[in-house]
């Protein structure tokens, strides 16, 4: 009895063959996608990648911005580790992360939980708008206003003297021990509105069934917040943490207007040192090296924060 081998149909062979028509079609679709993204990639290259490459190149030279440059190698980078003022600037940025990021996120979480509970109360929307208001005010205006508040005869000291706390009153931005925390509290006031808006939007996306189940289990307000609200806001917390940490690390205009890095170098920050060295002392190569290191630090911290981002369903 003859045995005939089963031959797959042409359609099946085409589907099984890696070089079949569907694969070529997918390849064409992918190339079309790159063509659509080409204008954005061109703008990114011209305005970001090329300047970044020039920044790295200049950081390898001693240059005052006018005369001829001389080769420096990595001496501008090693100076960052040796110079106490530059080391202090990066340490000050870490302190500002506490004020620009940790405190606003903690306070905004509490305010979001309270205001969503009291959403039907009159005036809650006005309160939310006032909290978000600093986000739409120019930083120069904000810095000028807070400089007046912190002044020796400003609103803060006047209020302290009015309640009998004359010993507490001081030039807040002129005192070595209070200058940096005073700048940090301005950052807290600025960033809390952004975090609050993100968290309120996130709470609105949490299914109501989870809160009903928590109530049936006898959960109180605190347990409900820890078991339902906080896990549901993980994505929004990651976004808020990324934005506020970057804001802390790249702070410049607030320090420039309020303290100019003083008193001494008590409020000196990397972004301010970049400006000061490039346009104040003529150390353009050193300024570029600081900028490169600051960029690397921001990218590293941002990458670590994004690891907290929850995975999408089905991934």
Task: State the pLDDT at residue 215.
Answer: 84
Q: What pLDDT digit, counting tens, does each position of 142-164 carry?
A: 999 999 999 999 999 999 999 99
Q: How far apart are CA 133 and CA 128, in angstroms?
A: 9
Confirm if 246 and 271 have CB atoms less than 8 A apart.
Answer: no
Residue (of 265, 225, 271) closest to 250 by Cα position: 271
Task: State the pLDDT at residue 310.
Answer: 63
| Parts of the chain with a pLDDT under 50 | 1-6, 10-20, 313-315
Confirm if 96 and 269 have CB atoms less than 8 A apart.
Answer: yes
Task: State the pLDDT at residue 33.
Answer: 78
Q: How far apart are CA 81 and CA 86, in angstroms?
A: 7
Give the SS3 label for residue 71. Answer: strand
Confirm if 290 and 80 have CB atoms less than 8 A apart.
Answer: yes
Confirm if 176 and 263 have CB atoms less than 8 A apart.
Answer: yes
* Torsion-angle region of 262 (φ positive above 0: left; ψ -120 to 50: alpha; else: beta): beta
* Torsion-angle region of 313 (φ positive above 0: left; ψ -120 to 50: alpha; else: beta): beta
Confirm if 115 and 200 have CB atoms less than 8 A apart.
Answer: yes
Look up the pTM and report it: 0.83
Q: What pLDDT digit, counting tens, does each position of 42-69 carry?
A: 999 999 999 999 999 999 999 998 899 9
| Widest Cα–Cα separation across the chain | 113
**Which residue is associated with the tokens 């549901």?**
232
Give the SS3 label for residue 61. Answer: strand
Residue (of 159, 255, 172, 239) closest to 199 by Cα position: 239
**Which residue is associated with the tokens 């690891």?**
307
Q: Is residue 130 within a helix (H) or strand (E), and if so which, with residue range?
A: helix 124-132
Task: State the pLDDT at residue 224.
Answer: 87
Neighbour tally for 108: CB within 10 Å: 26
Q: How far apart are CA 308 and CA 225, in angstroms?
A: 19
Q: How far apart are CA 274 and CA 288, in angstroms?
A: 7
Specify the fold of 79-306. MetI-like fold (1.10.3720)
First to last CA, the chain: 53
Q: What pLDDT digit, counting tens, does each position of 201-230 carry?
A: 899 898 989 888 888 888 788 888 888 999
Give the SS3 label for residue 52. Answer: helix
| Residue spans per domain, the chain | 79-306
């Amino acid at each position: 009895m003859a045995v005939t081998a089963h031959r797959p149909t042409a359609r099946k062979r085409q589907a099984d063959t890696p070089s079949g028509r569907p694969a070529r079609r997918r390849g064409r679709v992918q190339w079309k996608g790159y063509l659509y993204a080409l204008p954005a990639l061109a703008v990114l290259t011209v305005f970001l990648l090329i300047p970044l490459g020039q920044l790295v190149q200049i950081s390898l030279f001693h240059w005052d911005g006018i005369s001829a440059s001389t080769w420096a190698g990595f001496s501008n980078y090693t100076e960052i580790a040796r110079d106490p003022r530059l080391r202090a600037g990066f340490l000050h940025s870490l302190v500002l992360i506490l004020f620009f990021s940790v405190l606003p996120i903690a306070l905004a979480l509490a305010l979001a939980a309270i205001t969503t509970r009291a959403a039907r109360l009159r005036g809650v929307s006005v309160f939310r708008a006032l909290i978000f208001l600093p986000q739409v005010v120019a930083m120069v205006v904000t810095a000028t206003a807070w400089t007046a508040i912190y002044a020796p005869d400003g609103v803060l000291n006047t209020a302290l003297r009015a309640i009998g706390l004359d010993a507490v009153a001081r030039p807040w931005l002129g005192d070595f021990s209070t200058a940096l925390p005073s700048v940090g509290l301005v950052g807290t006031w600025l960033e809390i509105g952004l975090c609050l808006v993100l968290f309120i939007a996130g709470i609105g996306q949490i299914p109501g069934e989870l809160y009903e189940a928590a109530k049936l289990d006898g959960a109180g307000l605190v347990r409900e917040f820890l078991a339902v609200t906080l896990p549901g806001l993980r994505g929004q917390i990651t976004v808020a943490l990324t934005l506020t940490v970057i804001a802390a690390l790249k702070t410049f205009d607030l320090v420039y207007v309020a303290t100019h890095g003083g008193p001494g170098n008590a409020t000196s920050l990397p972004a301010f040192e970049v400006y000061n060295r490039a346009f104040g002392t003529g150390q353009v190569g050193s300024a570029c090296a600081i900028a490169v290191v600051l960029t690397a630090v921001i990218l590293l911290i941002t990458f670590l924060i994004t690891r907290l981002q929850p995975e999408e369903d089905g991934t």
